[in-house]
Amino acid sequence: MTGGGLLVAGTTSDAGKSVVTAGICRWLVRQGVKVAPFKAQNMSLNSFVTKEGAEIGRAQAMQAQACRIEPSALMNPVLLKPGGERSSQVVLLGRPVGEMSARGYHGGRQQRLLGTVVDCLAELRSTYDAVICEGAGSPAEINLRRTDIVNMGIARSARLPVLVVGDIDRGGVFASFFGTVALLSPEDQELVAGFLVNKFRGDVSLLEPGLDMLHGLTGRRTYGVLPFRHGLGIDEEDGLRVSLRGTVRESSVSPPVGEDVLRVAVCAIPLMSNFTDVDALAAEPGVVVRFVDRPEELADADLVVVPGTRGTVRALEWLRERGLADALARRAAEGRPVLGICGGFQILGEHIEDDVESRRGRVDGLGLLPVRVRFAPEKTLTRPAGEALGERVEGYEIHHGVATVTGGEPFLDGCRAGSVWGTHWHGSLESDGFRRAFLREVAAAAGRRFVPAPDTSFAALREEQLDRLGDLIEQHADTDALWRLVESGAPPGLPFVPPGAPA
C-alpha cells in the first residue's frame, strides 16, 4: 500500500517552504500519522550526516526531527553544494559523485536522476502513512521545467497534489499565486490544489476579499493564512542568497544569569557552511551572536568563530583581503578566544595542501594552531562522540581536509593552543554540558562575569520550535482539507488558468 503525499511548493525561494513542511509534519505526527519528509533536490551549504554516514540537507534533518524519526538519505537523494557562482558538488544518496557546472547539470544530468528520485519517494511512501515533500525555488521556472525533478517533475511522476506557499510579508502575493499557476502547463495545473499564505500581519478579515477573488480567478482555494512569527527560521537551507551584513542570530529574550553578556562574532566567510553551528550559542541567555565582515567588528567580541566553508582557500584569502586575518592574529597574541569549526579550523592551521577543492596546492594558513591539513579525494562523513572539558560531546563531520595535529592540547579530535580552539566537529555546541563548560572558559579568558544558564537544553528548545510550527498549522490552516489532499490528491476538475506554460 502506498502512503499519501503532498508537495509544498513556493512562489519564490525563501517563501517558507521548509518551515511549512516541518509544521505539517509535526502536526501530522501529533495526530498519530507515521510521516516522513522528502526533498528530491536541495541546493544548500547547510548539511547533516545521518547515522549511516550519508550527507543530506540540514533542513531535511530538521524535518525528520519534526516527524520524530531518524533522517536518511532517502529524504534528500540529491544535494547540490555550491563551490562558486557556476559549479556545485553533487551529492547523490548521501555520497559526493563529483563537481558539475550548472549548465552541465541542467543540460542532462538532472533529468537522468529523476528515476532515482522517484524510487526514493516510492520507498518512503511504502513505509510511511504520508510523505510531505518540499519543492525548491518556484515551480514556474519555465526555463528549467524540461529538466525539473524537484517541483512539478516529481509531482507529475508521483501524482502529488501541490500546495503553493507565498510570503505575503514581501508583498505581491496575489500576483505571485496567480502567475505561478498561469505559467504552468495544463497537466501541471491539474495538480496545483491551492495556496497557503505565510507571514501575514494584521486582521485576516481584511485579506479575505482578495482570497475570494483569487479563488474566482484560479478556481483554487486558500488552505490557510499563517501569521508572522519571529524565530521560526530554524536550520535555513542556504546563506548564499542572504546578505549577512548586520544579521544577528535570534537570541533568547532571557536576561543573563551573571553580570555580563557574552558577545560572539562569526566571520561571514565566503561559501559559509553549517552556520547553524552557532544557533546553540544564540540560545543561551546572555549570549549575543552576530555575523561580521570587518576587522573593527571583532574589537568588542568576547569570542570570534570562524565557521565552516565549502571554499577553505578562498575564505582564507578573503580573511586576508579584509584585514580579518590580522585581527584574528592579534586576538590570539592577546589571549582572546577564537574558535574554528571545520573549514575554519583548517584556516587557523599552519598550511593547507589542497589538490581537491581549490586545486591551489600548498597554501599558508593563519598559523594560529599547530595543524597541517591535506585535502583527500574522499569526503569524511561521520558522527563522532567523545569528551572535552570534562563533558560528553556529540557532533558530525563533513570535510575533505585531513588534519595532522603537531602540538597543543587535544580538543574534539582537533586541538587548542592558548585561547584558540579548532575542531572538525559540527554540532558540538548542541551538547549542553560541553557548551556551558566552553562558555565558562571563554568568559574567563575574555574577563567577563558571564555565567551560563544551568538549565538551557538546546534539544528542548528545538522541540519547542517544532511544536510552534505544528501549532501554526493546527490553528491557522484548514487541517481537514489538508489531510484530504494528502490522502486523496488534488481535487478533480480544477480549471485551466491561461496562458499556461510557453511552448
- Cell 545521518 identifies what position? 50
- Cell 546578505 identifies what position? 243
For the chain, counts of helices (H) and of strands (E): 16, 27
C-alpha cell at 32: 498519530
Cβ-in-10-Å burial (0-12, 13-18, 19+) of 207 comes to middle
Grouping H, G, I as helix, E, B as strand and the rest as coil, residue 376 is: strand
The C-alpha R_g of the chain, in whole angstroms, comes to: 23
- Cell 496575489 identifies what position? 174
- Of these residues, 342, 400, 415, 476, which one is catalytic? 342
- Cell 577553505 identifies what position? 312
Element (H, E) at 364: strand 361-364
Element (H, E) at 327: helix 324-333
Respond yes or no: is residue 342 known to be catalytic.
yes
- Of these residues, 399, 400, 426, 476, which one is catalytic? 426
Among 38, 19, 46, which residue's Cα sits nearest to residue 308?
A: 46
As a dihedral over the C-alpha atoms of residue 78, residue 97, residue 88, residue 59, rounded to 10 degrees, the angle is 30
Respond yes or no: is residue 133 known to be catalytic.
no
| 241 phi/psi in degrees, rounded to 5 | -85, -5
Q: Catalytic residue positions?
A: 342, 426
